[in-house]
Amino acid sequence: MVSDQDHPTHAGGPGAGPEAGPVQISVDAMGGDLGPAVVIAGCALALRDNPDLTIILHGDKAALEPLVARQPALAGRLSVNHADGVVSMSDKPSHVMRHGKDTSMWATIDALRQGTAQAAVSCGNTGALMAVSMLQLRRMEGVTRPAIACLWPSRGRHPFSTMLDVGADVKADAQDLLAYAIMGATYFRNGFNAARPRVGLLNVGTEEHKGRAEIKQAHELIGRSQDTGRYDYVGFVEGSDIPSDRVDVIVTDGFTGNVAIKTAEGTSRLISELLRESLRAGLVSMLGAILARGALTRLRLRVDPRRVNGGVFLGLNGTVVKSHGSADETGVAAAIGLAAKLAQSGYRGRMAERLVIAARTAQDSKPEGDSE
């Protein structure tokens, strides 16, 4: 398992905040590619690691209860809420918003809206999950477009950096990017106990004359809002800076962020496959692999995406964590653990306050008669 120092929610981050204590997480059992058995196994792992945690599992009771019964550790700490429908990966968000009230995804977010749970987790359709979450939870004041934040292995002061947006919305204007900077900095501050995270705006170069008009405008807004957001702005950053020690929070639009993260995932798989082939290429290579087993294991744990699984929806009136659809039980457990610690941290209250201040300051700074 990853040590507390390697996890984004170590002591001093979420879990050390004012709401620390018992927490209940609402989990969609039916959305993952690998089926409900894997989600239930992930719930068991999460409950084992967190004695203050309980879970409401949403889905088809007839399918779930026999699986739950095979896990004695779940008794008394996991309840099943029946939901007939399932949101498939091919379902359009608009269809789910109109016709999805009987689905496990809808029930998962509804439990959060009703206050039955303090956070929600789903492995399901990202677009549908965001649409249902926005419909039921609504956006925070000062947020036009919520964002999905992910963790990225880095060589910085902390073992990971945060990037947002990675796919909630392909568009983002300057005010959206400012909101992303504030939300990302608040999330990172709570996750890593970093007093003033370093924020960078992803661009095609670091020179101030480069980039689209909205990027240049966001550059000015983010720079002016450092004290409000309690971050240090390092200016423009390039793709090569994402895993570097220059920046903690990378701000971009959802189109660019999604392309970046999927490119990184594909490259990581390629390197892993090539390394495996090389280490099995001959007797000497295999001997070297045996001798380097400890170092290779540490490297694998350091960059294993399952152990930092979970994109957090930021900018909503509720904590929602989107797990990878193909997550195994380790990944599901990581997403549930992240949701629990975020729910305990009280980070959303501080984020909401800073978003409101920044939005009003930006509005007041506009010339008279200038409207969007």
Both 295 and 148 in one domain: the answer is yes
pLDDT at 222 over 50: yes
The count of structural domains within the chain is 2
121-149 pLDDT, tens digit per residue, is 999 999 999 999 999 999 988 788 899 99
pLDDT at 346 over 80: no
Both 68 and 102 in one domain: the answer is yes
**pLDDT at residue 47 in the model:** 93
What is the arithmetic mean of pLDDT over 175-201? Answer: 90
Helices (H), the chain: 36-49, 61-69, 93-99, 104-114, 126-137, 174-192, 213-224, 226-229, 254-279, 283-291, 293-303, 329-345, 347-364
Phi, psi of 53 (to 5 degrees): -100, 140
Read off the amino acid at residue 61.
Answer: K
pLDDT at 337 over 60: yes
Both 108 and 249 in one domain: the answer is no
28-56 pLDDT, tens digit per residue, is 999 888 899 999 999 999 999 889 999 99
Helices (H), 237-325: 254-279, 283-291, 293-303
Do the beta carbons of residue 55 and residue 25 sit within 8 Å?
A: yes
Quick one: pLDDT band at residue 8, thresholds 50, 70, 90? very low
Is 13 inside any structural domain? no
Both 204 and 264 in one domain: the answer is yes
Distance CA 167, CA 125 (A): 12
Is 275 inside any structural domain? yes
Q: What percent of the chain has pLDDT over 70?
A: 87
pLDDT at 100 over 80: yes
Cis peptide before 165 (omega within 30 of 0): yes
For position 251, which CATH number holds?
3.40.718.10
Is 250 inside any structural domain? yes
Both 319 and 339 in one domain: the answer is yes
Is 259 inside any structural domain? yes
pLDDT at 301 over 90: no
User: Of 352 and 173, which is predicted with more confidence?
Assistant: 173
> Mean pLDDT over all residues of the chain?
84
Both 237 and 255 in one domain: the answer is yes
What is the arithmetic mean of pLDDT over 282-297? Answer: 80
Both 257 and 340 in one domain: the answer is no
Do the beta carbons of residue 170 and residue 254 sit within 8 Å?
A: yes
Do the beta carbons of residue 8 and residue 194 sit within 8 Å?
A: no
**pLDDT at residue 294 in the model:** 80
User: Could you tell me which residues come within 8 angstroms of residue 258 by beta carbon, excluding any fewer than 6 positions away?
Assistant: 166, 167, 170
What is the arithmetic mean of pLDDT over 193-211? Answer: 90
104-113 pLDDT, tens digit per residue, is 999 999 999 9
Spatial strand order of the sheet with 232-237 comes to 78-82, 53-59, 23-28, 119-122, 320-322, 311-314, 147-153, 160-164, 249-251, 198-202, 232-237
Token readout for 195 is 């007093």
Both 225 and 194 in one domain: the answer is yes
**pLDDT at residue 6 in the model:** 39
**pLDDT at residue 2 in the model:** 35
Both 280 and 162 in one domain: the answer is yes
**Domain range holding 189?**
144-312+346-365
Is 1 inside any structural domain? no
